Structure 1
Amino acid sequence: MSTSADLRAALVDGLTGDDAITDPAWEQAARAVPRELFVGSYFEPVPGSGPTEYRAVSRDEPGWLEGVYENRTLITQLDGCISPEDVPGGTVTGMPSSSSTLPSLVLRMWHQLGVEPGHRILEIGTGTGYSTALGAHRLGDGNVTSIEYDPAVGAAAAAALKAAGYAPRLLVGDGLLGDSDGGWYDRLIATCAVRYVPYPWLHQVRPGGKILVTLSGWSHGYGLALLTVTAPGEAHGRFLPGGTSFMTARPHDRPSRQSITLLPGDERPTRIDPATLGTWTGSWVAQLAAPSAERMGAGEQQILIDTATGSQARTAPGPDGGWTVTQRGPLRLWDQVEDAIDTWRSAGAPHQQGFGLTVSATGQRVWIDTEDGPGWHLPI
């Protein structure tokens, strides 16, 4: 039977290619931090269920430890309140609200952040505490502060960190407000997604310091940005290659809504294939164009509902080939999306690494290629 140390070693040794650990200090941390102290029981999706059902995998289940050391995200909470211990032996539906992110992504982000010995780090989203432990092992307890929004999740992480022998500074509260008592930080890493970069962060990371954050929205487009703070309240940077997604920070999450009724509207042929919105960068561009819209549907049948105005757009296969779109409301959501997709394609349809972000006191603008290139403003 494999031990925890054996499984940690196998996990690290199995990280190759883009996931390979190139910094010996981070490799040492990955081999030292026992993930099982931070995960405990977790949820697994039930194959073929719709809406998705989850079953709890408990510590006493055969294969539990091996599951913990698979390079995958393990869901630890649903709907902001349901833990695996709440559904022993059964299944439950819900939306994931806390998790232990797959180790390869956690380690890759620590690499991308470019930390050095002596750096002070602010982590937004403690979660299970596993990422926090890696940072504390690499940099020392005194150089790591982590903020968790959910008090129950924060308490569990604190207990796990203590059990693992780490004692970073832990706070419970709205991480989007940062740490007003922490002074200057050299680096900030966010393990949640946000709709825009919170301005308090830009006043707590020193000029020249870096912020690594996933930008997202209610249409589930994602882009991981590495920013350099150029002055208090200002930053500039680019989006990174690959695909990184996180749960949205709860203060930035979509407002609650009732059931959706699709209503009649104006119908016309579309200029773009609706399935473009199902691609990684296509969904990102569409979200930039309609930032207050929620996207549903798949393939040829896309649905956009604007949370602010109730405007709607929905696509369908056309009777003679191609596709149609029906729009209703003060915002012509599909018009906005088509224009953005055309702009993106005219620029060569780059992946996110072709995009950048400039943050100033007057707004936050995502651009393509260069700062004066085509772009869109993030919702503030």
Structure 2
Amino acid sequence: MTDQAQLHRQLLDRLTASGSLRTESWKQAAEAAPRHDFLRHGYFRRAVGTEFTAWEPVREGDAGWLEGCYADESLVTQIAGTIVPEDICGRIMREPTSSSTLPSLVLRMLEDLEVEDGHRVLEIGTGTGYSTAVLCARLGAGNVTSIEYDPRVASRARAALGHLETYPTLVTGDGLLGHRAGAPYDRVIATCGVRAVPQAWIEQTRPGGLILATICGWLGSSELARLTVHEDGTAVGPLLSGGVNFMLARPHMPPPLGLLPDLDDGKERETVTGAEVLDNWSSRFVVQLAAPGAQRLTMQRDGRTEDVLVDIGTGSWAAVFEDGGRWRVRQGGPEPLWDAVEEQFGRWCAAGAPMLEDFTVTVTPEGQTISW
């Protein structure tokens, strides 16, 4: 057995033992998709020994490249929207914009998609093409349509899939619009995060079909939702446990914060809800529902730490800080952000702080709501 085959086998054995890979049909599909074939252009690993987050390239043939391909880790493949490993010598300190998702999450999501033989699937976000290849191995390439927003990423995925003689329908364009020409689909799966499930996905899914998508927010908490599409054009379903996190679809990314408001020009009061609600995954998800347009930053002001929420769209803001063992908030703008947070968080606590898997997502032509 070659080193590559052995590493591949070891990865699949670990994923089977952990429960990410649960059925024989998906195990066989994963065996047919060697991950390294989709990472031949390299990936970035986090550089060690730097004060700030920096990335350095790992190219095919470099020490550790093959082992990294078969680690159960997400691997950054693009930085700052255009930069790939072959473009860099040394290190770069910019934000990742594309990655190869860790295999355990890819396979867990495919299992959660509940496909049956003959189902037609629309995948939003081709990425490297790895998950597309697994889908094709399970359902046949003729039943798989995959959309990638970035032309350069799409081109590399097409080449990698072609190398394996796998030829699904590949589309370069805005995945939020779906691909109406191939509709209706039995299943839709998104490998990027969205703030709200697009109506186009619902319209292009047959009644009774499923949509699997990660619902995200600008405060950094997200969860996987599995929605069933109904005859009336709505989609309803639960959040699935697990704390899934994907990069947001580019049109759903938050705007630059720009010039901050005057954080001294606001009304100050005591609050029963402290900034610790922003540090817990579940409570932060609840806070996002109350302040969906807010972004968070932490600042040192007047010798203390202030957690600040800023909504660029409305101009509202709130700064929460501890003073003498008590929490206080100062807020300004047209909408009192922290009042909304307190109200939402209080209702959730009064309900017994239900787990996120007890939440229900409902999408109608009028918009998306999340309740418990």
Please give the range of the TM-score, normalised by the shorter of the 2 chains.
over 0.9
Distance 2:284 2:52 in 1: 22
State whether structure 2 residue 197 is matched by structure 1 residue 158.
no
Written as runs of structure 1 = structure 2, the 5 A alignment for 1:235-250 is: 235-250=235-250
Deviation at 1:84, TM superposition (A): 1.2
Opposite residue 326 of structure 1, the aligned amino acid is R
Cα deviation per residue 1:70-95 (whole Å; 9 max; x = unaligned)?
0010000112111111112x111111
Which amino acid letter does the alignment assign opposite residue 307 of structure 1? I
Q: How do 1:137-148 residues align onto structure 2 when only pairs under 5 Å count?
A: 137-148=137-148
Q: Residues 39-75 of structure 1: CA distance to partner in whole angstroms, max 9, x if unpaired?
A: 2311112246454111111112111100110001000
1:238 CA drift (Å): 0.6
Q: 1:153 to 1:237 in 2, by over 3 A?
A: same
Contact 1:229 1:236 in 2 (8 A): yes
Gaps of 5+ in 2: none
2:338 aligned residue: 334
Gaps of 5+ in 1: 369-380
Cα distance in 1, alignment partners of residues 262 and 82 from structure 2: 31
1:149 aligned partner, one-letter code = Y
Contact between 1:275 and 1:300, CA under 8 Å: does it hold in 2? no
* C-alpha spacing 1:24/1:301, structure 2 compared with 1 (3 Å): farther
Between 104-113 and 226-235, report the one with greater CA deviation. Answer: 226-235
Q: CA deviation at 1:300?
A: 6.7
Alignment partner, residue 205 of structure 2: 205
Q: Report how far residue 317 of structure 1 moved.
A: 2.0
Q: Structure 1, residues 109-161: CA drift from partner, whole Å, max 9, x if none?
A: 00001011100000000011000000001110000000000001100110111
Residue aligning to 1:59: 60
Q: Could you tell which deviates more after superposition, 132-141 or 330-339?
A: 330-339
The answer to whether 1:71 aligns with 2:72 is yes
In the superposition, relative to structure 1, how do residues 343 and 105 fare at CA in structure 2: closer, same or farther (>3 Å)? same
What CA distance in whole angstroms lies between the structure 2 residues aligned with 1:362 and 1:295?
Answer: 28
Cα offset for 1:303? 1.6
Aligned partners of 2:20 and 2:105 also within 8 Å: no
Whole-Å separation in 2 of the counterparts to 1:284 and 1:131: 27
Q: Is the 8 A contact 1:300 1:323 kept in 2?
A: no
Aligned partner of 1:37: which letter? D
Q: Answer whether contact 1:220 1:295 (CA < 8 A) is retained.
A: no
3-state DSSP class of the match of 1:93?
coil
Amino acid across the alignment from 2:194: V
1:322 Cα deviation from its structure 2 partner: 2.4
Amino acid at match of 1:150: D
- Given residue 76 of structure 2, which amino acid in structure 1 is its aligned partner? I
Aligned residue in 2 for 1:308: 313
What TM-score does the superposition give when structure 2 sets the normalisation length? 0.94
* Contact kept? 1:149, 1:173, Cα under 8 Å: yes
- Over 3 Å counting, the alpha-carbon distance change for 1:93 and 1:343 in structure 2 is same
One-letter code aligned to 1:105: L
Cα drift, residue 233 of structure 1: 2.6
| Structure 2 equivalent of residue 373 of structure 1 | none
User: Structure 2 CA distance, aligned partners of 1:167 and 1:301?
Assistant: 53
State yes or no: 1:345 paired with 2:349.
Answer: yes
Partners of 1:47 and 1:283 lie apart in 2 by 29
SS in 2 for 1:134: helix
- The DSSP-based 3-state class of the residue aligned with 2:230 is strand
1:261 positional shift: 5.4
Instruction: Work out the CA distance in 1 between the residues paired with 2:305 and 2:116.
Output: 47
**What is the CA deviation profile of residues 148-203 of structure 1, one whole-angstrom value per residue up to 9, with x for unaligned ones?**
00001100110111112211110000010011101210000000011111001111
Structure 2 CA distance, aligned partners of 1:2 and 1:302?
Answer: 52
The 5-angstrom pairing of residues 108-187 of structure 1 reads: 108-187=108-187
Secondary structure at the residue paired with 1:323?
A: strand
Please give the per-residue CA displacement for 1:237-281, whole angstroms capped at 9, x wherever unaligned.
110011101010011111234254552122222212311211111
Q: The residue matched to 2:57 in structure 1 has which SS?
A: strand
CA contact (8 A) 2:227 2:237 kept: yes
What is the root-mean-square deviation in Å for CA atoms of aligned residues? 1.8
Q: Is the 8 A contact 1:274 1:300 kept in 2?
A: no
2:61 is equivalent to residue 30 of structure 1: no
- Partner amino acid, structure 2, of 1:152: R
Q: Using the alignment, how far apart are the partners of 1:324 and 1:238 within structure 2?
A: 35
What secondary structure, in the 3-state scheme, does the structure 2 residue paired with 1:181 have? Answer: helix
Q: Which amino acid aligns with 1:115?
A: V
Check 1:280–1:17 CA distance in 2 against 1; reply closer, same or farther (3 A cut).
farther
Question: Partner residue of 2:233?
Answer: 233
- Distance in 1 (CA, whole Å) between partners of 2:10 and 2:84 is 28
Match in the other structure for 1:192: 192
Matched, 1:5 2:5: yes
- Whole-Å separation in 1 of the counterparts to 2:259 and 2:56: 26
Percent of aligned positions that are identical: 48
Q: Is the 8 Å Cα contact of residues 35 and 69 (structure 2) preserved in structure 1?
A: yes
Query: Structure 1 residues 99, 280: CA separation in 2 closer, same or farther (over 3 Å shift)?
Result: same
* Distance 1:16-1:324 versus aligned 2 partners, 3 A rule: farther
2:47 is aligned to: 46
TM-superposed deviation, 1:3: 1.7
